[in-house]
Structure 1
Amino acid sequence: MYGGWFNYNRVFIREAQTRKDQIIMIQYERLKRNTIGELKRLADFLGINDVDPLLQEIAEKCSFKNLQAADKTVRNDAALSEIMRAMHLKEHPEIYRKGEIGDWKNYFTVAMSETFDKIYTDKMKDIELDIEFD
């Protein structure tokens, strides 16, 4: 049914690189390290001017802490619980972990990381993408 992570991202990245005036790519790691700068880049891409006074407010409202709190609120929503029951899921899937750059290392062994690196290099060798994993 689905083409897998690599196929999906290969298509998306090619489209994003071909249509830079229509698609902006924002990476979590860069957003986390330079929230205001990345939000400014997004506002510029959207053609929104005089957004500087709002950037701090947007950054705060979209902070990991606030998104995590909002997720807990949604999880308590009766409609979502009904959807989860209909899907035969006992628990709501975890969307947010810690929000820390490099947290994947807590889930991957060294061997798993090396295997991923080999597969990633093979599957994405012709794609120009600067991903920050740490």
Structure 2
Amino acid sequence: MIPFAKYKGEFKNFLRPLFQGKFMYESWMDYVLDWELVKKTNPDQPVLTLFYEDIKQDPMREMRRICEFLGVERTDDFLSRVCDNTTMAAMKTHKYTGNDARSILFRKGGVGDWKNWFTVAQNEWFDKLYQEKMADCPLRFKYSL
């Protein structure tokens, strides 16, 4: 069940409609492409793009990138504490109640879990769709570490 998408079926039936924009939001690929267009057509309004996989791989490096983008200086000790307090394990210790969206957003916090969900056919379908729709996208995504 995916409450924010109002979907109660099985994952195998969720993938295509999700990427076709049939749920609450448009397709993820369209969303990414729209933001890339915003970045390209508004160079005076900088946007920092971060990837979860990069944060998992080297959180201090990515925290320094954020500081550089924001034009702020922070000590390594401060950034280390930020990194420690923003891990999935640390965030899961916070209790949220009611319909707070945060209570349903924290899952595993790993990288590459898609391999446990996608069938070979779904992966092939996704790869083809990705190549078609994202061919001109300058972003390069990682799917594992």
Give TM class, smaller chain: 0.7 to 0.9
The residue type equivalent to 1:9 in the other structure is V
- SS of corresponding position for 2:47: coil
Name the structure, 1 or 2, with higher relative contact order (CA <8 Å, separation 6+): 1
The residue type equivalent to 1:32 in the other structure is K
Gaps of 5+ in 2: 1-23
Counterpart in the other structure of 1:88 = none
Gaps of 5+ in 1: 85-91
Calculate the TM-score normalised by the size of structure 2: 0.72
Identity %: 30
Residue 47 of structure 1: CA displacement? 0.5
Calculate the TM-score normalised by the size of structure 1: 0.78
Counterpart in the other structure of 2:93 = 69
CA displacement 1:60-101 (0-9 Å, x = unmatched): 11011012222xx11xx2xx24x79xxxxxxx9732222111
The residue type equivalent to 1:110 in the other structure is V
Alignment of 1:1-134 (within 5 A): 2-18=25-41, 19=43, 22-70=46-94, 73-74=95-96, 77=97, 80-81=98-99, 94-134=104-144
2: CA distance, partners of 1:46 / 1:30:
18
2: CA distance, partners of 1:105 / 1:93:
24
The residue type equivalent to 2:113 in the other structure is D
- SS of corresponding position for 2:93: helix
Q: Any conservation in 2 of the 1:16–1:25 contact (CA below 8 Å)?
A: no
Which structure has more helix as a fraction of its residues?
A: 1
Residue 2 of structure 1: CA displacement? 4.2
